[in-house]
Structure formats: C-alpha cells, structure tokens
Amino acid sequence: MDATSIAEQALVEHRILQHVKAALRLSLDWKASEVGLDRKLSSVRFTAQSLERHLDRMMGLEEDGGYMDAVREQKPNWTTKVEALARDHVEIRQRLAKVMPQLEGQEARDPDRFTDACESLAALLDRLDVHDQKETDLLMEVFTEDIGGEG
C-alpha cells in the first residue's frame, strides 16, 4: 500500500474513532436515575467494548505497516515523534486494560464502583482526544502534499 493510501486509511479510522468516542460519551452522560443503573451499565459496557475493539484494530494497523512505518521511511527525522505516539499506544492500552475488567465484572448493585469506572473511562477519552489530535496533525503535516492538501 502506498503512503497516500496509508494516510487516507489512518484518517478514516480516526473519523470512525471519533464516532465511537462520541457514543461512549453519550452512554457515560446518560443519567442512571432516568434509565436505571442496569441499562446504563449495559450501554457503557457495550460502547466501551466497541472502543476497545476499534482501538486494538486501529493501533495495530498504525503500528504494523501503517502510517508509523511510512513516516519513518519518508521522514526519518520524525522518528522521535512516531516513537512518542507508539508509547502513547502502550499507555492507552494499559489504561483500557485496567478499566475494562471493572466494567466486565460490574454489577448494578455497586454504583460507587461503576461511577469510578465511568470516571476512568471519561479520563481515558480525554487522553485519547489529545493523542488523536497529535496523530492527525502528524498525518496532515507529513502527507498533506500526497493527499491533495497543497498545491
């Protein structure tokens, strides 16, 4: 796959991720008093699992033959930026791995534990927003000429 296709794929994956994050935020913002804790828990769990699956897929694509390799090849002097983003992937995976078991083993009878898990997910989403912006900025800067941004 050429660099332009890789960049376009990465940008599409980031757009999809924006939708998944928005869905999770909607689930997190849902008032349990309106729908019941069981329903909110089910919705948060489902959307968090969707986030986990998409992140796993997307980060795998980025790291293995994706934009990270393309940037290293086209702009070797940017390897430090790519490595920082790869470290972010490790951190994000670790944070997600910590919060998901809280949801999986969760029961509606423990609202405090569920609230803690929701707060952890909200913080993770904020962290993801920062990471996504860095990746998108890098993609646009490196591949703008290739994908029709200038010229």
> Does residue 68 fall inside a structural domain?
yes
Tens digit of each residue's pLDDT (9 = 90 or more) over 75-133: 899 999 999 999 999 999 999 999 999 888 766 567 888 889 999 999 999 999 999 99
Residue 36 domain boundaries: 3-143
Per the listing, tokens 């849902």 go with: 30
Q: Place 150 in a pLDDT band, splitting at 50, 70 and 90.
A: very low
How far is the C-alpha of 140 from the C-alpha of 137, rounded, in Å? 5
Q: Which pLDDT value is given to residue 97?
A: 95
Helix (H) or strand (E) holding 24: helix 3-29
CATH classification of the domain holding 40: 1.20.120
pTM of the predicted protein model: 0.87
User: Angle at CA 10, nearest 5°, toward 7 and 14?
Assistant: 140
- In this structure, is residue 104 part of a structural domain? yes
- Residue 151 belongs to a domain: no
Per the structure, the count of domains in the chain is 1
31 membership: H or E segment, kind and range: none
**Which position has the token pair 């790291």?**
63
